[in-house]
Amino acid sequence: MEFQEVVRKRRMVRAFDSTPLPRGVVERIVRNAQRGPSSGFTQGFEFLIFDGPEMTATFWQHIASLARL
C-alpha cells in the first residue's frame, strides 16, 4: 500500500468493537508503531497494553491516586 493511499483511506473511529485482538496482532501493531517518526529523533514512545478490564481499572486507580498527591 502506498503512503498516498494510506492517507486517503484514513478515518476517525468513535465506536469500537469489544472483541479482543489476538496477542500477535497487538504485538505487530506496537512493533510497527515503534518504527514511526519522532520529533528530533527523540524516540519518546511508550506503549501500555491492557489485557482485560481488570488491568485497565487498576491502571486508572493508580493514576487517580497520583492525582491526589
pLDDT tens digits for 32-50?
A: 888 877 777 777 778 999 9
Question: Which among 49, 57, 55 has a CA at the least distance from the CA of 29?
Answer: 49
Q: What is this structure's pTM?
A: 0.61
| Residue in the block written with cell 481499572 | 57
pLDDT band at 15 (very low <50, low <70, confident <90, very high): confident
> What mean pLDDT is predicted for residues 15-37?
89
Tell me which amino acid residue 51 is: D
User: Nearest-CA neighbor of 26 among 57, 54, 59, 49?
Assistant: 49
Residue 32's nearest CA partner among 55, 57, 6 is 6
Q: What pLDDT sits at residue 40?
A: 76
Q: If you average pLDDT over residues 57-63, what whole number do you get?
A: 95
Averaged pLDDT score across all residues of the chain = 87
Cell of 58: 487498576
